[in-house]
Amino acid sequence: MALHPEEPSLSAIDCLLGAERSSLEDLYREFHAHPELSGQEEWTSRRLASALESAGCMVTRGIGGFGVVGLMQNGQGPVILLRADMDALPVREETGLPYTSTITMDDPQGRTVAVMHACGHDLHMTALVGAARVLGALRDKWNGTLVLIGQPSEEMVSGAARMIGDGLYSRFPRPDAALAFHVAPELPSGTI
């Protein structure tokens, strides 16, 4: 994205994030309580697509299975891709939180297993939606195209290849830069 000379201040971004905080926390809890295994992210895909549409993105669903692509186009400029994983792990949650996952699903071997967002993909998706909301509110401060990806099947190491095979870079703008992150609970808060 090309920033305008009057680039938004960190305090302006903090203010926007503060206004979204409660809603984003609710979305996080919703994602956390409804995990789905790799290749089965049907509900997750629908919910992420809906949240990106509400943030002002043009959304395409079903890319390489349950992949989601949201576009936020804002004039001429670079294309930036932001990626979030969507799948969960076959892990029983024992946190006792009010939004604890009680979901079970059949794994690829046909066994019924407990499912949990034990790897932080619930946070990945929430951060993606938060970025879309904030950048949508700051459209007067940047030019370019934002491509927001919800990638399925990261844990099975197959979702990215399926999305690319389904035309990710031919059907949508090819990025000049791509950003993704992962959470690490052992790092201090605020560390990047």
Side-chain half-sphere of 66: how many Cα atoms within 13 Å?
A: 22
Q: Where are the alpha helices (DSSP H) in the chain?
A: 10-33, 42-54, 121-137, 159-165, 168-171
- Under 8 Å between Cβ of 114 and 103: yes
| pLDDT tier at 181, thresholds 50, 70, 90 | confident
Helices and strands in the chain, H and E counts: 5, 8
Q: In this predicted structure, what is the pLDDT of residue 184?
A: 79
Tens digits of residue pLDDT in 158-176: 999 999 999 999 999 999 9
- Report the alpha-carbon distance of residue 138 to residue 128 in Å, rounded: 15
Mean of pLDDT over the chain: 94
Residues with Cβ within 8 Å of residue 142, at least 6 apart in sequence: 1, 2, 3, 4, 74, 77, 135
| pLDDT tier at 4, thresholds 50, 70, 90 | low
For residue 97, give the nearest of 36, 37, 34, 32 by alpha carbon.
32
- Report the alpha-carbon distance of residue 174 to residue 168 in Å, rounded: 8
For residue 152, give the nearest of 91, 99, 85, 76 by alpha carbon.
85
Residue 143's DSSP bridge partners are 2
Residue 179's DSSP bridge partners are 82
- Report the alpha-carbon distance of residue 14 to residue 36 in Å, rounded: 32
Q: In this predicted structure, what is the pLDDT of residue 112?
A: 98
| pLDDT tier at 185, thresholds 50, 70, 90 | confident
Mean pLDDT, range 85-95, rounded to an integer: 97
Tens digits of residue pLDDT in 23-78: 999 999 999 999 999 999 999 999 999 999 999 999 999 999 999 999 999 999 99
3-state secondary structure of 181: coil
Residue 1, pLDDT > 70, answer no
Residue 183, pLDDT > 90, answer no
Tens digits of residue pLDDT in 123-149: 999 999 999 999 999 999 999 999 999
- In the block, tokens 């791509």 appear at 178
For the annotated catalytic residues, the residue numbers are 87, 154
Q: In this predicted structure, what is the pLDDT of residue 17?
A: 87
Classify burial at 21, counting beta carbons within 10 Å of its beta carbon; exposed 0-12, middle 13-18, buried 19 or more. Answer: exposed
